[in-house]
Amino acid sequence: MIFLLFNFFFIAILFFLIITLIFIPYGFTVYSFLTIFTVPQQILRIAQNKSIRQNHALEHATINILERYAGRTLPLSGLAEKKGFIISGIYDADLILEAAREGLFRLKKGECDLVIHKKCGTSIAIANFIAALLFLILIISTGIFSIFTVIIAILVANLLGPYLGELVQKYFTTSCAVEDLEIVGIKPEYSNEFTNQILFNYMPRGYFIQTENYRLLKY
C-alpha cells in the first residue's frame, strides 16, 4: 500500500514538473513582450518629470539616512510623487522628518551618492527588462525555446541589473539638483481611511513627506 502511494505521488510530482517546464517558457514569453514595452515607458515618464525625479532622490536620501541611523539595512519602502514621497515601514514621524531634512541638506551640499539605493524599484525593473530582452534575443538568435533559456536570461539579468539599475537611477529617475526643493510638512498615509475611523489604534502604513519646488511655483 505504501509503495503504491509513493508511486502515485512520484508520478503526480513528475507530471507537475513536466507541465511546469513546458509552460514556463510560454508564460515568460508573454511576460517578456509586456516588459520590454512597459518598463521603458515607466522610466521615460519619470525622467520627463523634474518634480518626481527630485522627490525620488530625496526619498532615497531619506532611506539611506535612516539606515545610517540604524547601522543596518531596514525593511523600508518608498514612493515618489509630484508633491512629495511616501516612506513606509517605520512609524516614527519625527525620525522620518529628521532624516528627510538631513537628506535634503546633504543633497544640497553635493552628496549625490545618496540618490542611489540598491533596493530601488528602478533596479528591479531594469533587471526584469534585461531578462525579458535577453530571453527574446536568445529565442530569435538560437531558436532554443526552453526553461534553460529562461534561466540563462534571469542569471545574466541578476548580474547586470544592479549596475545598470544604479546608472538609470542616477541619470534618469532621480535628480540631485534639489537646490529649490523644500520640505513643507509630513502627514500619516493610511491604506484605508474608513478603517482608520473605526479602529482607534490603527497604525498608518507610512508617512507622506510634502515638498515644494519654489522655482517651479514662480512660473
- Averaged in consecutive runs of 10 residues, what is the pLDDT profile of the chain (219 residues)? 50 52 62 82 93 96 95 91 93 94 97 94 90 87 77 87 92 95 90 43 74 69
pLDDT value for 186: 94
- Show the domain range for 152: 27-217
Sign of the four-CA dihedral 7, 9, 10, 11: positive
Asked if 26 and 123 touch (Cβ cutoff 8 Å), the reply is: no
Indicate whether 2 belongs to any domain: no
pLDDT value for 185: 94
Kindly report the pTM of this predicted structure.
0.80
Into how many domains does the chain fold? Answer: 1
Indicate whether 45 belongs to any domain: yes
Query: Cell 513546458 appears where?
Result: 22
Indicate whether 38 belongs to any domain: yes
Question: How many whole angstroms separate alpha carbon 16 and alpha carbon 173?
Answer: 42
Query: Edge-to-edge strands of the sheet including 84-88?
Result: 77-81, 84-88, 206-213, 181-189
Question: How many whole angstroms separate alpha carbon 35 and alpha carbon 117?
Answer: 22
